[in-house]
Structure 1
Amino acid sequence: MPIEVACHLNVLVPDLSEPGLSGALTALAELGYSHVVLPPIDPGSAPLAEWAALFRDHGVAPITLGGQAPGADVSAADPGDQERGAAALRRLVDATVELGGDQMNGVSYGLFGRAETVPGREAFERAARSLGAVADHAHAHGVTMTFEVLNRYETAMLNTAQQALDFIATSGSAHLRVHLDTFHMAVEEADMLGAVRSAVPVLGYLELGQSGRGPLGSGSVDPVAVVREALSAGYQGRIGVEAFSRSVLAGDASDMLAIWREPFTDGRSLAEEAIAIIRRAEAAAGSSDSTAS
């Protein structure tokens, strides 16, 4: 079976409003994507049943994104803050199930954004233990939980694959998985391919993002090499496509992510090129395996 490929919704549209959502799902289904990554949602106010019907009708399954907020943060020293952060993640697990999804990604180990100081080991351990418990809860409900490793400008908690491996070991969970993104890896990893290979046993999501946030075929990241390395190391999980442009993304989200330019204006064309690159890499990896055997 071909590897499953997901695309971030914000490649095509700024949010989940209609008619943009239906149009985006139609385009992704036509291009051969099996999943769509949603921007953050509020489970308490989102029309979950309505969205679930759309995903089901288009044959494109959702992947949700979990996060933390001030006063609800699993890495915080205050036990109440920790529990509120974990509770928010559990609510998103329930929403993921209601939406018809089986995967929850996100920056779920602490607050997003540039930190003033390096978090201490205690914060790291609090976050790991909390996420381990939520991941076990998610597994019991048929949802795989991953956490995304970011660059230094977006978090001080986890910046490398090696730190992610330590985080999983500290979590005490057999179900928590790593989400690696080549955009962030291009900043932090001295050996991107080696980092991918090292994480494969616990890799739950491999996301392809170019150095300039634009088309996969243009930038300093070699997506074909990354995909081939992961597959040759035995990775069988999903591969994601992520790109952001101020011409598509909402203004507040663009500001938060520091998307100041327009590296693309046609999201459908970007998604079409991206899945073609992934399929070529997949075929090349298969050919290499056959030759080696």
Structure 2
Amino acid sequence: MPKFGAHAFVWIPDWNTEMGNQAIAEAAKAGCDFIEIPILRPDDFDAAAHKKALKDAGIEAAASTVLPRDAHAPKAPDKAIAYLKACLDQLEAVGGTYLGGCIGYSLGYLTGAAPTAAERQTVIDVLGEVADYAKARGMTLSLEVCNRYETYMYNALADGQDAVKAVRALGFDNIELHADTYHMNIEEEGFYQPLVDAAETLGYIHMSESHRGLVGSGTVIWDQVFKGLADAHYTGPLVLESFAAVNKDLIAATCLWRPPNQPPAVLAGEGIKFLRDGAAKVGLA
């Protein structure tokens, strides 16, 4: 049976001590097994307070991040490594073991050209060093694939799978592929086959609607998503990702200029039910 979680931005527009603890409590109320914490400013992360809030709520935590613009891995590998290690340190302090997201590139960083072989090799080298650091702590990484308007590095699941396999070939089995149905809706030729083809490395998925609002109310073909996950024998978590409000750190990259089509309580309550029902229908739960 998969675990069900939700990104904190379902409830809050930013992560700090007060809002973060609020999101943790709301995730528990919504019936989540865990909350995905966005660690975007590791130096300001209040791990002690959040660890207590998680214990009080009775749920677990995973985390995601986005490399800062000045730490875009292909251009600034040393800064990327330092930043990702800082994120892992904070995640470890809060009791989590899983870091996903845009760990190989900065969201919104575009060069006007396709990625070069050298750029992709630099990302593999960076992820290998960080995977080594994570493995010593019993932690897992996942590389998220995003659409062409937000990154030029990895747009299709097949691209991300190649990168993950390259890092695994270095001797690190603690890295997985992170899919996102919002990005798939833009980039993939359907939902079913890419998920099945990515089965070997797929470990995490954002269940996100085409407009970032309530799942099931947009153009994502959810029957294909759930069937693809089932036929891929997917055993990872199902993570609701909607956005309650515009986030100042991500607004330029994601182009989220307006609020979602439903308030947080509806996004979370109906969203988690939608995921549980869809998973049960195909035998995932």
TM-score (structure 2 length as normaliser): 0.91
Distance 1:175 1:144 in 2: 5
Matched, 1:121 2:117: yes
SS of residue paired to 2:5: strand
Which of 246, 254, 259 pairs up with 1:257? 254
**Offset of residue 255 of structure 1:** 4.2
Which amino acid in the other structure matches residue 26 of structure 1?
A
Distance 1:71 1:20 in 2: 26
Say if 2:21 and 2:50, in contact at 8 Å, map to a contact too: no
- Percent sequence identity is 27
Matched, 1:169 2:165: yes
Matched, 1:56 2:69: no
Structure 1 unaligned blocks of 5 or more: none
Which of 144, 149, 152 pairs up with 1:148? 144
Say if 1:10 and 1:249, in contact at 8 Å, map to a contact too: no
Distance 1:265 1:230 in 2: 27
SS of residue paired to 1:65: strand
Aligned residue in 1 for 2:102: 107
Say if 1:13 and 1:249, in contact at 8 Å, map to a contact too: no
Which of 149, 152, 158 pairs up with 2:154? 158
Q: Deviation per CA, 1:65-104, whole angstroms, max 9, x where unpaired?
A: 233234433312xxxx312211211121111110111110
CA 219–270 in structure 1, closer or farther in 2 if over 3 Å, else same: same
Residue correspondence of structure 1 range 76-225 to structure 2 within 5 A:
76=75, 81-115=76-110, 116-171=112-167, 172=170, 173-225=172-224
Structure 2 unaligned blocks of 5 or more: none
CA 23–168 in structure 1, closer or farther in 2 if over 3 Å, else same: closer
Which amino acid in the other structure matches residue 56 of structure 2?
D
SS of residue paired to 1:66: strand
TM-score (structure 1 length as normaliser): 0.88
Which of 261, 265, 276 pairs up with 1:268? 265
Which amino acid in the other structure matches residue 249 of structure 1?
V
Higher-Rg member (1/2): 1
**Offset of residue 6 of structure 1:** 1.4
Which amino acid in the other structure matches residue 279 of structure 1?
R
Which amino acid in the other structure matches residue 283 of structure 1?
A
Distance 2:164 2:249 in 1: 32
Distance 1:20 1:66 in 2: 17
SS of residue paired to 1:278: helix
SS of residue paired to 1:141: coil
Which shows bigger deviation, 265-274 or 19-28? 19-28
